[in-house]
Each structure stands twice: as structure tokens, then as C-alpha cells.
Structure 1
Amino acid sequence: MTSARQIFRIVVVAIWLLSGHVQAQTERPIYHFAPIHGWANDPNGLIQYNGQYHLFYQFYDGGWTLKDGRFKDPLVWGPMHWGHAVSKDLVHWHGLPVALSPDKMIDHSEVQGMIFSGSVVFDRNNSSGLGTKENPPLVAIYTLADTFGPGSGQRQAIAYSLDGGTTWTKYAKNPVLPYNNTETFRDPQVFWFGRNIGWVMTIACGDHVCFYNSPNLRHWTHVGDFGQAEVGIGTPWECPDLFPLKVVRNGKTETKWILIVSVRHGAPSGSFGTRYFVGDFDGKTFTNLARPTDVKWLDYGSDFYAAKTWTPQGRSVQHRLLLGWMANWEYAKTMPASAYRGEMTVPRELTLQFDQTGYYLEQRPARSVLAAIEHHRITVKSAGITGTHIFKTSTAQEIDVGFLAKQTAPAVTVNLFDTGSKHVTLKFDASTSEILVDRRGYDGYQFSTDKGPYRIPVTPVRGHIRLQILLDRDSFEIFVNGGRQTFSALVFPAKPTFASVTVGPS
């Protein structure tokens, strides 16, 4: 084998992030958000406000007996509430009381006003009239979902907070948007566009998104739609997110709009996934700058869905922070669980880039997360090495691998959650320029029949490929070449593991 010029580097970063109660629960992730107890899915209402990152999320913790006498399992999806947590660094989270609860619950099968996904805005000028000039409100815009009663369906409602988001009051004249006879009319995302347009709502409407405008968050007018010509892969659409980002193109800085939607079919992993569009938006109309057949995926893994971005405290359009639900509806209700079920990805910093292939998003672990682990970094560099190299791993760390992307170069195989004979395997296929991810052989709790192999298409940078791999107790996330492609997946190892890297035949 030949590899005299091969540059091979491995960075192992040990992470000690949490302490006390959370750390004592050995099954919990170390630096991925998860509730202390109960069920969690989609992130909601992400907003940066008064120096804190607010994370609301779909939450259910049981707590009542059904009419037939059975106790409702608190670790599966149920009548949705909004859980709430805050953080100053996106690493250490402080739980707050449940923000919003269903309007009326008879039992698990008969619920009015479940609190589905939505967003939170700071109504700086008190356009809603729900606060005062001196104390403008935070306003939550969310979907009300019913299982019974007149007008059952999905409607849009608002609630407001005058104490920074700790307590919430539902608007007395809800809903602000009635049921529109669309099966999936939900997940409103709202932002202030400007004085001439006012507030913009982007909402899932079956196989597309709808746009609404409002001067006051209470009265909404339908102004446009996007997506009917773009469907191709994956319906229905859910959890839309629309925001601007600056990008340098041919030496000039311009602003483009990113529309993220989650889809229930057709993703690279075979089922649920999240795609995005890059385009122009004037407050009413979104124009896709790519061909309808050009599908861009935000993540190639099996466990990345309902991704949303934080509304920044200022009006920065240089980057955006993103968070996704780390699970898959194919098996979310059957994953191993004790006190809780459901967690989020690591927060990611999004930037928009442009090259000869067009516009694309890059995702990197949030700088605050990397800063938290900076002082626990162990670096090993080597050139032209061969054979297998084993690295003892802790419960959470980073592995950074770089290698040549040539068919003549020795194969590079990375084994994660390795017990010696069983592991998750990452391998580069030079013939197709893809990373193959295979979790079929790991030694742990079997929660899904779909374990790969999955494929990540990669574009070498000056002939090299870099894999930045973040490990936690029950997951791994891969950032390829600075985050041009990403991959997120869950695993539940049954015993302590290590990582190994093999250069040459494995």
C-alpha cells in the first residue's frame, strides 16, 4: 500500500459538561438536551431573549388515568404541552415550568386544544396590544389540535408572557386562524419582516407552505403559497422555518432566504428527514433559486427531524443557530427509556455558502459548545500511518479524522461504540465519493430494524476529507468538511465502548 503523503490526524476531545443530578443518571446524554422526565419531540419557540436561549419543545409526562382505568404511559407521545428550558451557553440547561397545556383533557383519546408546534416572538412595539409600551410581551404562536368536538382540526392560537417567558396567558379570543380544512395545517413560524409587511407567518399546509401577513399577531391575511411545484420528494410538509442569511457570491455580499421543511417520506435515510430551499422572499412570495428537482437535505442521518432556528436577539443575518429533534417517528415510541424519551441534536451554527454548484448551507457545532470543551482537548497527529489504532473513549467526546480522497490511498475505517467485535462503522467509498455509515453491527439495544448502511455524498476539499464526529452516550453526529454534509443517529450501547481507526485493510 502507498500513503507516503497521506496526512492523517485524529483529535480526541474529552468532555465533562454536566454535574450533579443529571450526571448521576448514567443513561442520559452529556451535552445533548433531554428532559429530566417524560416524552419530548419537536423543538418549538426558539428565541434568544435577555441574554438567554429559550427552548420550548413538544412535551408530555402523563399524569392521569384513562376512562377505562389504565394509566397513560408518560414515555410515549400523548396530549402535547410545551416544555420549557433556558440556557446561557447552549450546553447547560435549566428547566422551567410547563409553558402551555391543552385546553381540555378528558382522557388520552379525547383532548381539545393540544399545544402543537409553533414559534415565539418579541413584540417589541406591542403591536398585539397584549403588553404595554414599557413592558412589551413575548408572544407564542402555536397550533391548537383537537381530537373531538365541533370544528375539530388544527387551528392557530396565541399566548403571551409579560415576565420574560416564565408564565403564559392564552389569548381570550383564540383561535386567530380557524381550521382551513387542510389535514396538516400546523407549525406556524412567525417573524417581523418590516413596517410595510408587518408580521409574516410561514405554516405547513399539507404538501406546501402558506404565507400570512398580520399587523398585530391577532388578525391574519393569506398572501401566498410555495411548494406545489417542488414536492417531488416527501409529503406532507411539517415544521417550516424561514429566515435570511448573508452570503458572498463572486466577491459581493447578498442576502438570500432559507426555507426549511421536514418531510415524512423520501429522505436519504429512507423515511423522515429535513430538506431546505434557498431563494428570494418579499414578505409574500418565496422564489426558489434552484430547479424543483434539485433537492437539498439538511442532514443525511436517520435521526434528524423538525429542525428549527433561534430567532436572534438582534437582526444578524450572518449566521443562524439550529436545533433538531434527534429521533425518527418509525421507532420513536419504542426507543429504550427509563425516566425520559427524546432528545435534541447539538446546536449548530448555520452559514450560507456559494460555489460552482450553487448555494448550500454549512453546519458546524455551535461555538459555545466547542468553547465548553476547549480545555479538554487531546490531539494526536501522525503521517503515513497504517494498521489499527484504538482510542479509549469516555461517554462523550469528539473524534476528528482527516484523510486523502483518492482511490489509490489506503482505505480509512472508523469504528464507533466498539466492543472489539461489534461496532458502528464509518467507511469512505472512493469509487462513489460517499461515506458509508453502518450501525447494523453494534452491540446494544436493538430499537430499529433500519440500521443502514446509509450513504453521505461528500465533496473532497483540495483532495481531502475531514470528519468531525461528536459522540455522546447514545448518539453520534458527523460533520463532513466543515459541515457541508451532516449525519445524525442514535445508538444505545449495552456496555462500555471505545473507538478505533484503521488505515489500510480492515
Structure 2
Amino acid sequence: MYSTVVCLLSAWASLTAAQTSTYYSPGVPTAEPIAGDYTGVYRPRVHFSPPTNFTNDPNGMCPVVNGLVLLRHAYTRERMFKDANGTWHLYYQYNPTEPVAGNQHWGHATSQDLYHWENQKIAIWPPNNTTFVYSGSAVVDTNNTSGFFPNQTNGVVAIYTLAHQTTGAGVQNQNIAYSRDGGYTFVTYANNPVIDVHSNQFRDPKVIWHSATQKWAMVVSYATDFVIGIYTSPNLKDWTHASNFSHHGLLGLQYECPNLVEMPMLNSTSTMYLLQISINPGAPLGGSISQYFPGSFNGTHFAAVDGAARINDFGKDNYAGQFFYGIPGDENQVSLAWASNWQYTSLVPTGVTEGWRSQMSLPRRNYLANVTSIGYDLISTPYAIESIFAQELAYNSSLGNATLLLDYASTSGALYFSANITHLTPSTLQGTVNLTFTSSVSGEFISLGSPVNGDTWIDRSHTSGFENPYFNGKFSANGQFDSSTGTWSISGVIDRSILEVFVNGGRQSATNTFYSDSPLDTLRVGVAGVAGSAGVSVGVWALEDTWAQQADGNGTVVGNATMGSGGGYRF
């Protein structure tokens, strides 16, 4: 299990002299980005994946300060933020030496749109081979509450877990470091750790600024105690325990990656706080999953509306999702998640055939809405997906009860698809929509669909590239059409080896990886039994190959060797 995060700022004023350190693993470059071969048949084209070897969860976000939006991604989970120039920064838990979890570093990539990523050099590495850098977060200390930035308003403080393997069971404590150059180099605080409860299951701090109390607030996991601790601080260095949130929802084996974010409610001028907690193992389908709790936060205590477990995703490959917390609470929040599952992530075939494992989900927009009997549903849809449409492959605004066939072999292998049924009433709520993606070479396929008045299903069991007893093949979730508008819809993205599906405008979503021996290259959309009074529209768009513009003639992506060159991490 690995949990790490950091949210960092990219503001380029006040760059400091680069710091260097002796690195205990000299085979891993730290002065330039690690190059990656992005030609593999499983490589996603619009989802982020590391240049080589292994990544896992994203985690956490930072606030908007002076126009800067920061996102913390985790433990070798991604950490992200958006700087004043509109650049999103993603940091991620990264093992640069093997395609399996371990040897935690913080990788780094940047993007203008959350789809076209540029690999940067490793941002933070472990101080030795017996201490691991686990998850955490980072904030922009605009008012210099820490005292680290006497001549700056854009200094960054990272708050993270160090796991000390030399202390027997591996004590985990919370530490801070500060950066004056936009998050490329850090200096550790001389009086670390800032919180130490002498536990080997104490990790993943997420820090936010709570303006009403004018203090920093931290949520951190006492993992196997099923407790989320809440701490407060005036200066990021001195922390006071304020309260606990414990034993809510699904427990599994441990709580991980808490994330606290304020977000809007649909059809309301008020906002709510949402506390997201990931568990592993213990998901209903096995392995890892994330759950969320809507509620209120007063700076010291979080109160959930109830004790129910609300699950983010009805697929198998969505864990430790984190929000860009810096977005104002009355605007839709943006999130990413790690698109894999701890039950089999170190076994999937990409590590052997292509030298990398695991990817991030699509970036998503999120808000809360009271649209089902459980209330306070988290609505999740792709973030600005239309910005990477490369070509309209098919569109029919009046398909009716018919079939659409499409060959997409000449595209990047990444598609966005959408099917909508309108003018429905309770008496005409009938019919089915089914989509099948097939390999013309091997006949392998994945499929999904739904009766308009029933459950949405996904079936990945007919691909042959990976078999594992935990690699569940079939998934379903209850779906309800929008009675207020009389519509039912299903949409999503297929991207070589990952499928994300969104039902009824994001009321339900599912993330599933898949591995076929031969590429999927044909699509069949079939509609049947829909009432004649209803309208049926179907569209399919090819998506850009977002890595192609950076690749050389051999398909190798080198990354950016100039930004932050010469920097390092100083313990």
C-alpha cells in the first residue's frame, strides 16, 4: 500500500538558487526528465501515464491564491496545481526503478488542459533507501504564516508523510518542506517532524486554509484505526489536534487519502463540504475504492449528513480520487483518480510488454445534487473533453431504433461516445442502448449498455490480454432517467486499455481497465425498443493523440529538460 501526495505551486517569480543532494540510487536521473516510449498498444492517448515503471494514486489539492489554482496529487499519487499562466502541475507517486509499487518518488508533469502532459524531472526523491516519501499536500503560503517567505507571496509549503523503515514496523510521521521556485526544489524544515504520534499507520495529510477561522486545517488518516484526524495550525509548523471523524461508511482494512473540499449543490446557492476517504481492501467488488461523505466543516469539526457509504464509481479501477481544492466552493470542482486496483495493479501486462504500469483517470468536473433517494449524489463528468476532439466520426440526431457501425482503426484509438434519448415519460420509459467495441483481428470485445428503465452494465470479460481471479469481468449500477427533463443518456471515453462511462449526466460513473491481445478498432451502437415518441441521438468523436506532438521518430517522449534544471531536493 502506498499513499502519497503533494500540491505545489508554479509561480516563477523569486526563483532561488538550485539545491542539490546526494542521491542514494544513482541509476535514476534527477537533473532531467525520464524519457518514455509512448508507442505501446496499451498506452492511453488522453489519460496520463508515467514515462516508465510504476505510478499510483493522486491525492489532494491546494487553494486558489492570487489567481493560482493548486492541486495535490498523491503518493505516488499525483499532486497537481494550476499556476498563474494556466499550467496544471501534476505530481505523482513514482517508482522509477521497477514497474511495481515501492521506492516512492514524486514524479512531475505539467499541462495546459489536463490532457496534453509534458513530463518534467523528478520533483522529490527519498533521502535514503530506508525512508519512503508517502502522501501529503502542499499549500501556497500567501501571507507568509510560516516565516519561510519574507519576500514572497507565492511560497509553497509541502506537508507529507515520511515512512521510516529503520524503526521496526516503519513509523509514519508528518513533515514539511518549503519551495521558493515554484515547486521544483524543496528545503526540509529543520524541526521535522511537525506531527508524530509514534504510529506505523498515520499518513496522507491534506491541508487547506480555512478562511473563517484564519487557520490551516489538516485531515490525516490513522489508517487501521478507521479515524480521520483533524488538526489546526496558525503557521504550518505547530499543529493542534482538534477532532476525529471515525468509523463511517465502509471500513475495509484501512482508511487512506482523506480529502476535504467545498463544492456547490445543484439548484442551490449554498455549498457543502465533502470528505472523501479511500479504503483498501474492502471495496464491494474487492480491493480498493473511494467513498464520500457530504457534510459541514467549521474549521475544527466535520459533520456528515449521515453515516451512509456513498461510492464514487461502480467500476473496479478508480481509487484515491482527489480534488483541486483551490477552485472556489461555489464552482464545479475538478478531480483526478488513480485508474487501477491494488488487487492486481502490479500484475497487469503493460509492465512486462511496455515497461510501465498504471494511469490516471480522466479529469472530471464534480458537484453535488439531490437526484436519487440517497440524496447528495456526487455528479461526475469529463472535464472539457470537447477540447481534444480531433474528428467527428459519426453523428445521427434521429437514429431511432437502428444500428450504427463504425471502423475507427485509423484513429488514435481514443474515442468519445454519447447516446441520448429524449422526450421520455413514465409511460414510454422503454428500450435499450448497447455499445460494443471489437477487435477486427481477434474478435475480442468489451460491451456496455442499459435498458432505459433498468441497470447499466459493462462487460470486459471477453478480452484475453490479462486474466486474474480478482480482475472482475462484469459490472452494473442502477440507472434512473431524469424525470425533470425526460432524458436518459450514456457517454464515455475508450482509450486503448481503459474505459470510462458516465450515465445520465454523470449520476453514475465507472472506470475499468482492459487488456486485449489485439487492438479494438470497430464500434457497434444498437438501439432497440425505444418508443416512437422519443428522440434518439448518437455521436462518436476521435480524440487527439496527446503524446504524439512530443514524441521523436521512434515514439520516445523526452520531456522538458529546461524548466527547473539543476534543481533537487535537500533533506
The TM-score, its normalising length taken from structure 1, stands at 0.84
**Aligned-partner SS, 2:50:** coil
Please say if residues 435 and 526 of structure 2, whose CA atoms lie closer than 8 Å, have aligned partners that are also in contact. yes
User: Which letter maps to 2:347?
Assistant: T
Partner of 1:414: 435
* Aligned-partner SS, 2:398: strand
The question of 1:155 aligning with 2:176 is answered: no
Tell me, yes or no, if structure 1 residue 49 matches structure 2 residue 83. yes
Per the alignment, residue 31 of structure 1 pairs with 46
CA distance in 1, matches of 2:370, 2:432: 30
- Whether 1:119 aligns to 2:137 is yes
Residues 1:257 and 2:257 are matched in the alignment:
no
Any unmatched runs of 5+ in structure 1? 1-19, 63-73, 106-110
Query: Are 1:215 and 2:237 counterparts?
Result: no
For the residues of structure 1 that align with 2:202 and 2:136, how far apart are their CA atoms? 12
Distance in 2 (alpha carbons) for counterparts of 1:441 and 1:379 = 27
How far does residue 208 in structure 1 lie from its aligned partner after superposition? Answer: 2.3
Structure 1 distance, partners of 2:466, 2:474, is: 18
For 1:381 and 1:248, the matched residues in 2 are separated by 28
Q: Deviations 1:39-64 (Å, cap 9, x if unpaired)?
A: 100112322222221111110112xx
What is the CA distance between 1:148 and its match in structure 2?
1.8
Contact map agreement 1:248 1:254 (CA 8 A) in 2: no
1:8 matched residue in structure 2: none
How far off its partner does 1:178 sit? 1.0
Conserved 8 A contact 1:58-1:80: yes
- Percent same amino acid among aligned pairs? 30
Distance of 2:170 and 2:36 partners within structure 1? 42
SS at match of 1:257: strand
Structure 1 residue 389 displacement after superposition: 3.4
1:165-217: CA deviations, max 9, x gaps? 11222222211111443x43111111100263410001111212110001111
| Alpha-carbon separation, structure 1, partners of 2:388 and 2:329 | 23
Task: Name the CA distance, whole Å, in 2 between partners of 1:413 and 1:316.
Answer: 37
Alignment of 1:130-279 (within 5 A): 130-134=148-152, 136-149=154-167, 152-181=170-199, 183-194=200-211, 196-206=213-223, 207-228=226-247, 230-248=248-266, 252-279=268-295
- 1:289-345, Cα deviation, whole Å (9 max, x unpaired): 13x2x3211111100001111233x64531111000000000000011223111100
Structure 1 stretch displaced more, 411-420 or 334-343: 411-420
| SS of residue paired to 1:363 | strand
Match of 1:65 in 2: none
Shift of 1:385: 2.4
**Alpha-carbon separation, structure 2, partners of 1:406 and 1:346:** 36
CA RMSD of aligned residues (A): 2.5
1:137 deviates by 1.4
TM-score under structure 2 normalisation?
A: 0.75
Matched length: 459
Matched, 1:61 2:119: no
> In structure 1, what is the Cα distance between the partners aligned to 2:81 and 2:414?
27
Range moving further from structure 2, 257-266 or 274-283: 257-266
Q: Could you tell me whether the CA contact under 8 Å between 1:46 and 1:309 is conserved in 2?
A: no
| Partner residue of 2:118 out of 89, 94, 100 | 94
- CA change 1:425–1:101 in 2 (3 A) is same
Structure 1 position 365 matched with structure 2 position 382: yes
Q: Which deviations, in whole Å up to 9, do the C-alpha atoms of 1:7-60 show, x marking residues without a partner?
A: xxxxxxxxxxxxx98654443210100111121001123222222211111101
Contact 1:138–1:165 (8 Å) recurs in 2 = yes
Matches within 5 A, 1:428-439: 428-429=450-451, 433-439=454-460
Amino acid at match of 1:401: A
Secondary structure of the residue aligned to 1:159 is strand
* Equivalent residue for 1:487, pick from 510, 523, 531: 510
Q: 1:232 to 1:492 in 2, by over 3 A?
A: closer
Secondary structure, aligned partner of 1:89: coil
> What is the one-letter code of the residue matched to 2:202?
F
* Aligned residue type for 2:227: H
Cα–Cα, structure 1 residues 200 and 33, in superposed 2: closer, same or farther, change >3 Å?
A: same
State the alpha-carbon separation in 2 of the partners of residues 441 and 26 from structure 1: 18
1:426 aligned partner? 448
Pick from 353, 371, 384 the counterpart of residue 400 of structure 2: 384
Moved more, 187-196 or 466-475: 187-196
In the aligned structure 2, how far is the partner of 1:101 from the partner of 1:139?
16
| Alignment map for 1:285-364 (pairs within 5 Å) | 285-290=301-306, 292=307, 294-312=308-326, 315-336=328-349, 337=351, 338-355=354-371, 357=373, 358-364=375-381
Q: Distance in 2 between matches of 1:21 and 1:285?
A: 45
1:81 is matched with 105
> In 2 relative to 1, CA 124–22 (structure 1 residues): closer, same or farther, beyond 3 Å?
farther
Q: Which amino acid aligns with 1:172?
A: A
Offset at residue 221 of structure 1 (A): 0.7
Which AA in structure 2 matches 1:324? Answer: A
Aligned 8 A contact 1:29 1:473 in 2: yes
Change (3 A) 1:408 1:202: closer
Instruction: Determine whether 1:280 maps to 2:296.
Output: yes
Tell me, what secondary structure is at the counterpart of 2:241?
A: strand
Task: Tell whether 2:436 aligns with 1:444.
Answer: no
The answer to whether the 8 Å contact 1:158/1:174 transfers is: yes
After superposition, residues 455-474 of structure 1 pair within 5 angstroms as 455-462=476-483, 464-474=487-497
Distance 1:409 1:421 in 2: 30
Distance 1:257 1:96 in 2: 33
Structure 1, residues 58-77: CA drift from partner, whole Å, max 9, x if none?
A: 10112xxxxxxxxxxx1111
Secondary structure, in 3 states, of the residue corresponding to 1:333?
coil
Paired with 1:58 and 1:345, the residues of 2 have a C-alpha distance of 15
Does structure 1 conserve the Cα–Cα contact (< 8 Å) formed by 2:344 and 2:470? no
Distance change in 2, residues 1:25/1:153 (3 Å): same
Matched residue, 1:475: 498
Counterpart in the other structure of 2:475: 454
Cα distance in structure 2, aligned partners of 1:151 and 1:178: 15
Displacement after TM superposition at 1:465 (Å): 2.4
SS at match of 1:371: helix
Q: Is the 8 Å Cα contact of residues 41 and 57 (structure 1) preserved in structure 2? A: yes
SS at match of 2:265: strand
- Distance in 1 between the 2:46 and 2:202 partners? 33
